[in-house]
């Protein structure tokens, strides 16, 4: 009897729904890239590159992005409140401005120690600060009672899907390509993912006909379609929806009586046009047509992980509910209670994000300078990368509009497709693995997000500093095309 | 048509498994106590008390417990790394010792920015530090590859149950009374909770016959019993298991081929005898009887939330796996990947907890003084509270042995039972609600943790400062007994 077979748990008897979940963002390529990084760290000189470029994950501070000084100064006081016994030293010798100290004191007065559990749905005063932000952003009131703080947006998505999906037959409309959190969570929950395709020819916009078709097909198979997920700005696509597109989704949700789950974590990463929040557009539509949209249920998510904040390691986030039944909200409260509360220091960081220094306040100037610097840096790198893709044979990519990603189509020669098959990989996986082996650049194959049959893509962030790596990519592509031509 | 009935989601169609979950620790009483606190905060003088005493949750820093200086100084540097440009100011004017700065630099060199995602299972160097700690604690090697960092132990329990439970028929042996995380998580997962009773007459020890009976009963009903959960030291019971008791459980797990899930988050809160880790005892048994215990699968959990650390708001924790199949571990890795990683600052705090200042190091003296002060304070208050229970009619409570709780039996007069019935409450709920209304002291009714039919209990922490509130409780009890006699 082998030791495996005598174990209680083995691959064949554990939760099949966990096994069915796919999560390529941290899959084989990511693991291989970490192996390479460790090799290089140990002084290995056998590899054809000196650095691993992690362009596979939207992890800004792993790369070039520096944290915003105001945020981190406040957090340092929250962690060591004894610093408040030396305000003069903080101000005169350590570059802390009075508004940093004031904010830290205010947060401590509201949250207590960051080492203590908060209320299950988050510190009330922080939820109020979020409500104030939403009111400023959208021009419509928000209520802290409808806000739930979470450990990053991922944990919020997990909570919402747990409530919405009643059984295997509950269907959730999920965009393809999509961030695999949705499909993976639905697999684990054993609910039904109803994929709908985004329109690559319209800059990965939302195509209502395509959603409608997916919804109707699922319904005709008896699926109880309950909710439509929208990621705006798009991950992995980099799209940014127009107000018209947002209105179209809300109208569709009304007609089909679907909950809208709006993943808006990239709301400040917008390079073309402006961001249109689902909450803001919904409130406008409700005002324009009294009564018509009153029964829309919307959950919108945000986090500290992306944007110019980029603090994903802090796992801070929240979701706001609009139009939800009180009894359903009570179950959401109970559900989040089971894991007690979101990290309190992350909650404080959410507060800082939604309520940054204002013009005229002591920390404003530096804050503005850092914020704009990050924004412009991202935009420049997005543009440089996009230009590089334009130079690459068979690669097509819409202009960078939002989020932290480009998601170009690639075309690979038939010989490469054959080679991929031999290795048991899809052609895009093969391409990305060869790219990693040759250059140390780690990207994610499009198949990890879903793509239309017969098309190939890759997702890359544009967070890595410099442009040298972009040139490496251009060179690799040329060699690859030549090799398999 | 009412607005409720036209909503897509209502109480009747959301996830029934979430609805079925019970979580009393943050239930009605906790909510009511927060209402009272808000009232008092607004200057209300109608209530018969001036303070709310939250004895319902093991939330040390909400009450008297101060964070340990060394930990928080290091964290403050991790949050604001610019402080490292002023080491002289830190040391000469802000009481930072050189080992604080050294540790912060080391953690930064290993984790990078605390604002960046770490590896899904946690920062490798921190996992290595945990492995070193386990080796020192148990006298047997540990491997960082088998350690998974989590957002508090709760999230680790959630991960493990997700993997172990394959379907509705998968059974998990859970102690009664228990911390309701287990029953609630099993409800949400729609797996089978197989309750076994702890032995109140043996200081809430583990009674193997009782576990065996529960296991056999469940098996005879066709339940696929897979795992036994042990909480040691006990929550809510305050018990602390002897080495014999731990050996008994391991022997039983071997015979029945069950995974052991050892919730050891209170491992430093031990007031009688010493803590015996499942890992340490298992390795001893493996050494004594080569081959016999090789197939035991053990998952043991720990966190920064309890003990003298008490940093529950930081959501830091980990679990170590022993004897698990590699392929099963790969699925665990994938599962934790879906929510990306545990909060990185919380991971750093885990490192500080398992690797505190050593004798001779600059921060040691203060660390030791703070640590011992907290330990002795907890022990004193536990003793004072226990003595108070001894003075209360019909209340019985074993000596405080471990964790942060006392879990006395209470007996209430038949008239109170009737009154409770009228209010639709169990007698212990009624007692605890009356206690809250009269004194502002919030405890948790025993029924929130499960108890033997016909017995009544309450769980109280002994974290609240002072002893005035203990006297309030004694007085309330006397009045209550008189009123309903």
Residues of chain A contacting residue B338, judged by C-beta atoms under 8 Å apart: 21, 23, 154, 181, 184-185, 188
For residues A128 and A31, membership in a common domain is answered with no
Task: Enter the DSSP assignment of B323.
Answer: S
Nearest CA among B257, B182, B271, B259 for reference residue B228: B259
For residues B282 and B176, membership in a common domain is answered with yes
Asked whether residue B25 carries a pLDDT value surpassing 70, the answer given is no
Q: Is A408 left (phi over 0), alpha (psi -120 to 50) or beta?
A: beta
For residues A40 and A174, membership in a common domain is answered with no
Nearest CA in chain A to B116: A313
CA–CA distance, B335 with B339 (Å, rounded to integer): 8
Asked whether residue B64 carries a pLDDT value surpassing 80, the answer given is no
**The pair of three-digit structure tokens given for residue B457, joined into one six-digit string:** 């209990």
For residues B27 and B169, membership in a common domain is answered with no
Give residue-wise pLDDT tens across range B217-241: 999 999 999 999 999 998 888 888 9
Asked whether A374 and A210 are in contact (CB, 8 A), the reply is no
The pLDDT mean for chain B works out to 92
Task: Enter the DSSP assignment of B424.
Answer: T
**CATH number of the domain enclosing A441:** 3.90.1150.10
For residues A123 and A48, membership in a common domain is answered with no
Question: Is A69 inside any structural domain?
Answer: no
Task: Say what the pTM is.
Answer: 0.94
Chain A contact probe: residue of B92, B144, B340 with most A CBs at under 10 A = B340
Give residue-wise pLDDT tens across range B467-482: 788 899 999 999 999 9
Asked whether A427 and A454 are in contact (CB, 8 A), the reply is no
C-alpha distances in angstroms, B102 versus A83, A376, B85, B87, B356? 19, 35, 13, 10, 13
For residues B250 and B326, membership in a common domain is answered with yes
Domain count, chain A: 2
Nearest CA among B157, B112, B155, B149 for reference residue B131: B149
* pLDDT at residue number B3: 44
* pLDDT at residue number B99: 98
A339 close contact with B: CB closer than 8 A:
yes
Residues of chain A contacting residue B311, judged by C-beta atoms under 8 Å apart: 115
**The pair of three-digit structure tokens given for residue B406, joined into one six-digit string:** 């006392």
**Residues whose CB is less than 8 angstroms from the CB of residue B306 and which lie 6 or more positions away in sequence, other chains included:** B58, B60, B265, B266, B268, B269, B312, B403, B404
Residues of chain A contacting residue B18, judged by C-beta atoms under 8 Å apart: 162-163, 331, 334-335
B59 close contact with A: CB closer than 8 A:
yes
Q: How many percent of chain B have pLDDT more than 70?
A: 98
Number of Cβ atoms within 10 Å of the Cβ of B81:
17
Boundary-marking domain end, from A354, A386, A421: A354
A-proximal residues of B, 149-188, CB under 8 Å: 151-152, 154-155, 158, 162-167, 181, 184-185, 188
Q: In what order do the strands lie in the sheet with A405-406?
A: A405-406, A458-461, A444-445
CB atoms B331 and A89 under 8 Å: no
**In angstroms, what separates the C-alpha of B334 from chain A's closest C-alpha?**
7
Question: Is B73 inside any structural domain?
Answer: no
Candidate from A23, A163, A315 with C-beta closest to B334: A23
* pLDDT at residue number A1: 36
Asked whether A278 and A251 are in contact (CB, 8 A), the reply is no
Give residue-wise pLDDT tens across range B87-146: 999 999 999 999 999 999 999 999 999 999 998 899 999 999 999 999 999 999 999 999
CA–CA distance, B117 with A296 (Å, rounded to integer): 35
B370 close contact with A: CB closer than 8 A:
no
Provide the pairing of β-strand B224-231 with B170-176: parallel
Question: Is A75 inside any structural domain?
Answer: no
User: How long, in residues, is chain B?
Assistant: 485
Nearest CA among A214, A172, A177 for reference residue A189: A172
Question: Is A94 inside any structural domain?
Answer: no
Question: Is A5 inside any structural domain?
Answer: no
Asked whether A73 and A50 are in contact (CB, 8 A), the reply is no
**The pair of three-digit structure tokens given for residue A270, joined into one six-digit string:** 């917008």
Q: In terms of residue numbers, what domain contains B345? A: 115-354
CB atoms B313 and A341 under 8 Å: yes
* pLDDT at residue number B409: 93
| Helix residue ranges, H only, A80-167 | 87-93, 98-111, 124-138, 152-164
Residues of chain A contacting residue B339, judged by C-beta atoms under 8 Å apart: 151-152, 154-155, 158
B42 close contact with A: CB closer than 8 A:
no
SS3 assignment, position A90: helix
Boundary-marking domain end, from B289, B319, B354: B354
* pLDDT at residue number B201: 85
For residues B124 and B240, membership in a common domain is answered with yes
Question: Is A2 inside any structural domain?
Answer: no
CB atoms A162 and B297 under 8 Å: no
DSSP string covering B364-421, please? HHHHHHHHHHHHHHHHHHHHHHHHHHHHSTT-B-PPP-BTTEE--B----HHHHHHHH
Dihedral of the CA atoms B2, B3, B7, B10 (nearest 10)? -70
Give residue-wise pLDDT tens across range B294-341: 999 999 999 999 999 999 999 999 999 999 999 999 999 999 988 889
* pLDDT at residue number A465: 84
Boundary-marking domain end, from B299, B329, B354: B354
Instruction: Characterize A299-337 residue by residue with b for buried, 16 or more Cβ atoms within 10 angstroms of its Cβ, and e for exposed.
Output: bbbbbbbbbbbbbbbbbbbbbbbbbbbeebbebbbbbbb
A-proximal residues of B, 228-267, CB under 8 Å: 257-259
**CATH number of the domain enclosing B286:** 3.40.640.10
* pLDDT at residue number A65: 87
For residues B231 and B303, membership in a common domain is answered with yes
A-proximal residues of B, 424-443, CB under 8 Å: none
Candidate from B76, B115, B227 with C-beta closest to A310: B115
Phi, psi of B396 (to 5 degrees): -130, 140
Asked whether A234 and A403 are in contact (CB, 8 A), the reply is yes
CA–CA distance, B19 with A141 (Å, rounded to integer): 30
For residues A132 and A266, membership in a common domain is answered with yes
**Residues whose CB is less than 8 angstroms from the CB of residue A198 and which lie 6 or more positions away in sequence, other chains included:** A175, A176, A177, A204, A205, A206, A207, A210, A234, A237, A239
Nearest CA among A431, A12, A78, A55 for reference residue B67: A78
Question: Is B342 inside any structural domain?
Answer: yes
Number of Cβ atoms within 10 Å of the Cβ of B329:
17
ipTM: 0.93
For residues B423 and B284, membership in a common domain is answered with no
For residues B332 and B421, membership in a common domain is answered with no
Residues of chain A contacting residue B93, judged by C-beta atoms under 8 Å apart: 86, 89, 93
Please, what is the end-to-end C-alpha distance for chain B in angstroms? 51
Question: Is B359 inside any structural domain?
Answer: no
For residues B400 and B473, membership in a common domain is answered with yes
B136 close contact with A: CB closer than 8 A:
no
B34 close contact with A: CB closer than 8 A:
yes
CB atoms B75 and A77 under 8 Å: no
Task: Per residue of chain A (485 residues), give pLDDT as tens.
Answer: 344 458 899 999 999 999 989 886 667 888 899 889 889 988 888 999 998 998 988 888 888 789 999 999 999 999 999 999 999 999 999 999 999 999 999 999 999 999 999 988 999 999 999 999 999 999 999 999 999 999 999 999 999 999 999 999 999 999 998 888 999 999 999 999 999 999 888 888 888 999 999 999 999 999 999 999 999 998 888 888 999 999 999 999 999 999 999 999 999 989 888 999 999 999 999 999 999 999 999 999 999 999 999 999 999 999 999 999 999 999 999 999 888 899 999 999 999 999 999 999 999 999 999 999 999 989 988 998 999 999 988 899 988 888 889 999 999 999 999 999 999 999 999 999 999 999 999 999 998 888 888 899 999 998 888 778 889 999 999 999 999 98
CA–CA distance, B368 with B229 (Å, rounded to integer): 33
CB atoms B34 and A112 under 8 Å: no
């Amino acid at each position: 009897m082998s030791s495996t077979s005598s174990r209680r748990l083995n691959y064949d008897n554990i939760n099949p729904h966990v096994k069915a979940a796919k999560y390529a963002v941290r899959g084989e390529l990511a693991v291989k890239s970490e192996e390479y990084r460790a090799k290089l760290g140990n002084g290995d000189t056998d590899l054809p590159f000196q650095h691993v470029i992690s362009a596979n994950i939207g992890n800004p501070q792993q790369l070039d992005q520096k944290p915003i000084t105001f945020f981190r100064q406040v957090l340092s006081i929250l962690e060591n409140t004894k610093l408040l016994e030396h305000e003069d030293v903080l101000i005169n010798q350590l570059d802390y401005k009075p508004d940093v100290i004031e904010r830290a004191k205010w947060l401590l007065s509201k949250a207590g120690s960051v080492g203590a559990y908060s209320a299950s749905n988050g510190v009330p005063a922080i939820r109020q600060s979020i409500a104030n932000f939403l009111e400023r952003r959208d021009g419509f009131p928000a209520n802290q009672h409808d806000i739930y703080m979470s450990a990053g947006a991922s944990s919020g998505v997990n909570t919402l899907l747990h409530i919405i999906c009643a059984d295997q037959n509950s269907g959730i409309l999920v965009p393809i390509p999509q961030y695999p959190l949705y499909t993976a969570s639905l697999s684990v929950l054993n609910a039904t993912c109803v994929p709908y395709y985004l329109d690559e020819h319209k800059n990965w916009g939302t195509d209502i006909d395509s959603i409608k078709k997916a919804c109707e097909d699922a319904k005709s198979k008896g699926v109880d379609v309950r909710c439509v997920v929208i990621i705006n700005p798009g991950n992995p696509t980099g799209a940014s929806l127009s107000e018209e597109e947002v209105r179209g989704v809300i109208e569709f949700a009304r007609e089909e009586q679907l909950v809208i789950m709006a993943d808006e974590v990239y709301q400040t990463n917008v390079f073309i046009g402006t961001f249109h929040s689902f909450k803001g557009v919904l409130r406008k539509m409700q005002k324009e047509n009294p009564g018509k949209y009153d029964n829309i249920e919307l959950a919108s998510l945000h986090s500290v992980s992306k944007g110019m904040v980029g603090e994903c390691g802090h796992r801070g986030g929240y979701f706001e509910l609009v139009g939800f039944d009180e009894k359903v909200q009570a179950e959401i409260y109970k559900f989040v209670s089971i894991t007690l509360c979101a990290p309190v220091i992350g909650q404080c960081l959410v507060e800082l994000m939604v309520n940054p220094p204002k013009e005229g306040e002591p920390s404003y100037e530096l804050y503005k300078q850092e914020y704009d610097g990050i924004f412009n840096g991202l935009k420049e790198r997005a543009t440089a990368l996009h230009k590089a893709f334009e130079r690459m044979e068979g690669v097509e990519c819409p202009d960078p509009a939002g989020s932290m990603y480009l998601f170009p189509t690639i075309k690979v020669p038939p010989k490469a497709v054959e080679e991929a098959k031999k290795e048991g990989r899809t052609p895009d996986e093969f391409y990305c693995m060869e790219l990693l082996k040759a250059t140390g650049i780690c990207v994610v194959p499009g198949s990890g997000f879903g793509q239309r049959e017969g098309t190939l893509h890759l997702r890359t962030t544009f967070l890595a500093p410099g442009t040298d790596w972009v040139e490496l990519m251009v060179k690799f592509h040329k060699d690859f095309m030549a090799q398999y031509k």
